[in-house]
Amino acid sequence: MIVKTVADLHAVSNCPMGETCENCGSEFELNIETVETKVMGVFCLTLCDECTEFERMPKMTPVMVTHAVLQHCGHLEITADRMDQLMTEGEKQ
């Protein structure tokens, strides 16, 4: 019997909060946010309220995004293949 793990790819309860905003470096009003990329997956990052409100993101190379997606998979306790599968299933709905 195969049991599928259902995961909310945007869950952040297991994601560590950074000490500063990953975009502007602010130490105040920090939140953990998720970003969904169509190609690589979902990743989490620490942003301040202002960067979140104005949708400001740090500049990231494809390698950095891939690393962040793999880290987020670890936070969610799923594999990258499972994330891809869940994203594909979400597109069909």
41 found inside a domain: yes
Say what the pLDDT of residue 90 is. 74
57 found inside a domain: yes
3-state secondary structure the chain: CCCCCCCCCCCCCCCCCCCCCCCCCCCCCEEEEEEEECCCEEEEEEEEHHHHHCCCCCCCCHHHHHHHHHHHHHHHCCCHHHHHHHHHHHHHC
Task: Show the domain range for 48.
Answer: 30-92
Percentage of residues in the chain with pLDDT exceeding 70? 90
7 found inside a domain: no
Average pLDDT over residues 45-60: 97
15-51 pLDDT, tens digit each: 999 999 999 999 999 999 999 998 899 999 999 999 9
pTM listed for this prediction: 0.87
Say what the pLDDT of residue 56 is. 96
- Total number of domains in the chain: 1
